[in-house]
Amino acid sequence: MSSSIRIDRNVPMEMRDGMVLRADIYRPDDNDKHPAILMRAYRKVFGRVGHLDIFMATRAGYALVTQVIRGRGSSEGEWHPEEASTVEGQDGFDSVEWIAGQSWCDGNVGMMGFSHAGGMAAQTAMMNPPHLKAIAPWSSGVGQRQGGPGGFRPPNTGGAISFITALLWLPNEAADVVNRLERQGQDVTEMRRSLEWARTNPEEYYNFLPLKDVPFAKFERIGQLWDFRLRGVPQTEVKETRTYERVMVPCSHLTGWYDGVASASFESFINMQERGGSLLAREGQHIISGPWAHLGELGNHLGAMNYGAGLGRPPSSHLIDFFNRYLCGEEIRIPPVMYFLMGRNEWRESDSWPLPQTQWQRFFFHSKGSANTASGDGLLSRDEPGSEPPDVFTYDPHNPVPTVGGGLVGAPAGLGFTPGPLEQSAIERRNDVLCFTTPELKEDVEVTGPIEAHVFAATSARDTDFTAKLVDVYPDGRSLNLVDGIKRARGLKSEFQPELINPGEVNEYVITLGPTSQLFRRGHRIRIDISSSNFPLYDRNMNTGNPIGEDTAGIVAKQTVYHETGYASYIDLPVIPDKSAR
């Protein structure tokens, strides 16, 4: 095999409807046939980088094809994200088969992609192209939810919008629309000016009301994209695209504990193990999760933490192992689950998720009615509550709890948001944040698995949100966030068919915080923060009950959180026995 690399730029690939998509092809410069890896992305620079080093792949004997999807960049056609589950799957099918038919390909094709590009790999796998042998949808999922607010919604958004993602995506999406209209001879001066406003005035952009009328929304095609980001497809067209049974090939999943779509990655892994369309698919599921953020470098620093040298070999080398096994037939052991235990800073392995030795432990909320702020009397305990007064706070959508760290799936330039673990003390001094904290731990406690909070609450509004955040409190008083989630009241029965609630009625809010793996050290404390906003990570609920994007102003809501017999609020923690943590 040659050590030289041949690079062919903007290679035309014709789809079944005659549209031509463009790709760059990197392959060993020889006359041999090679297995190929396809990445389909929405812009070329994204497809060229990813987390698979191009030259590492070619040195390992692969041809790497990075294609720009329909309607983006130099590829022909129109891009309609609301139709992605069908069109992108068909284009992926045609692209895989085109590659398999090239003289330089041995007929074995894999797909990979990070974030949106991972979704493209998943949609292709559901179409079952004959020559597709394996996929690696990293920081993504095999089947995502399409419809309802936001179009794409990770499980931990609970009916709210992953707002910071919408803020990031719209200018990127609109840029291609504007460029294409300009090439068609249209005057796009005002369109460019409106998008430049969004880029140069980020705080005004994300606080704009009503959301549906942001300046760029008046332009038809851009307005359609923005409406999809806010509301998704019409309710009559809402559908679940998580058809795991249609996927017949092995999958390598990668995510991070501070990746906003970590829940989606683990959900896909679990469902593919149980429901994959073939024995090979069910037994060929692998997932890696480390202390990483979405679209971030997979290094040892994140937020306020340094995870040391224990991170070991880069994930790209694991990806080569995965393709060597499933495209080339090499006998390579790859554990189903590899996860990084934060706090101990070392890798662990398992055959399944959640871990088979998990002991689910409920930690109940307690207070004398004054759990507001970290200085309040909120307590987190294994003891079930008896007769206790509830905690009350007011939620003002014009003064929301600001986002500090966490799983940010993109953030517009200039906002200054940093993903990952960050100091939460300023947040926990707010009167609209309830803090329930354990006493100092007498021994190490490992928490590894999905986290879920059950909050019994009432509100004075027809619609509102409740948020939850798991925090590690250090002996010196520092508090660092681990995972968080949100639940929207109108989505209590169904996120796809929302219903307003009755003011004053007590409801159970089941809040998905997502997966984590943390060793709470002896002397530390475990804390759960409860509030009604985390902005702009999630959109503000204006408490009016109006359709998303319609409000010009919000109303203040009185929020009451209960923890008593019959309404025992708690957080369910997946505790791993001591012997597994040592």
Enumerate the active-site residues: 115, 259, 294
Cα–Cα dist 539/230, whole Å:
9
Give the C-alpha separation, 119 to 144, whole Å.
8
Tokens coding 304: 């306020």
Q: Which residue has the tokens 């809501």?
A: 557
Residues sharing a CB contact under 8 Å with residue 578, sequence separation 6 or more, in sequence order: 443, 444, 446
Provide φ and ψ at 192, rounded to 5°.
-65, -35
The alpha carbon of 291 is separated from its chain's Cα centroid by a whole number of angstroms, namely 14
Task: Give CA separation, 267 vs 152, 339, 444, 449, in Å.
Answer: 15, 15, 28, 12
Amino acid identity of residue 55, one-letter, is F
Q: What are phi and psi of 470, to 5 degrees?
A: -90, 130
Phi/psi at 391 (nearest 5 deg)? -105, 145
CA quadruple 318, 324, 329, 330: dihedral sign: negative
**Which tokens sit at 534?**
């985390």
Nearest CA-CA partner of 34 in 106, 140, 129, 82: 106
Phi-psi region of 276 (alpha: psi -120 to 50; beta: other; left: phi over 0): beta
